[in-house]
Structure 1
């Protein structure tokens, strides 16, 4: 597999077996399935590893089910912003991720921490082998490439505080918290206080009408000369 930037991080060193001293699954190892069990003496019947691509982490579980190789890919596509932070980013990120799930025929879920989980399941006829695991994982990630780039533009992923563990089941993984340029102030709810207002009627003004007094007219009569 090419080490070009568009390709996922090399994952063979992350595939671990219980009894192997090196803890590495080589690309040249041949794994055969017999009655649903791998015949390689030192390996488990299931394989788990993690791979980082475009700044996002994907956990891959591979197992042999009958005549088919089964791969389950779980990806954490960042954190979904709350509506009060950015309703535009929230709606558009969900639209992009939902379209990505339809492209790979997978599922999208949002957990209680607002993390976006992209889940895909791949079934391939044939025996489980390192070549098949890496090839099918790469196909899934490359299908997601344009959608991951859109999500990256809308909400860039935070820098990971940990490196991919050699066995992620033995190491507790703490997902990085989203980092914002400006501190986000959580809205506070204030209790509603009912005010008691008593309205008093305005007293009516008492008015007394007094009749207007007429002035007496005095006439002076002069005698005629």
Structure 2
């Protein structure tokens, strides 16, 4: 078993007034040569956008982009003709492929929006851009690690062009759940959204991250009421 621990307070910080972001991996003006990516997981940004503010139209290509709102409402508009709002309990995915432009704004004029922006390297380049969003069944996350993303279009959750599986759980204090990896070359990056957990003996607190690989299975135990996101990706 190999691990890498990223405590919440060691993340890169960007404060632009309207945007406060914590970067687990190198991004924009934050550069740490030891924190470029975890396997195929390239970006994990913990963003907070002020009321009525947001990211103007900008381009992406050849990247799988996942957004998970934690609080508030985020309005998305893109060059594929989509104009939608995602909120807590939703998950959004965009395959940038050959190229796409999009914008993201806080829909509300009276409160901040908080969301995770996650980028995963695709397993094929030049795909046709695509967009999808769904509302998750949060009841399935109660004391369970519920799959919310996979490589398979007809499987539970959204899908992306990569052998990646994301799961989310809302665990009561004292509850333990095991997670089985999908292959020898896979790793899991665990990110604690709320509360405190222990994963294979490592204690983690809110917004801590733990990468773990060279292992077949891991166990998550909630040391308090906790919310967790597991991101399983190929390591090579």
TM-score (norm 1): 0.29
* Structure that is richer in helix per residue: 1
TM-score by length of 2: 0.28
Richer in strand (by share) = 2
Which structure's CA Rg is the greater one?
1
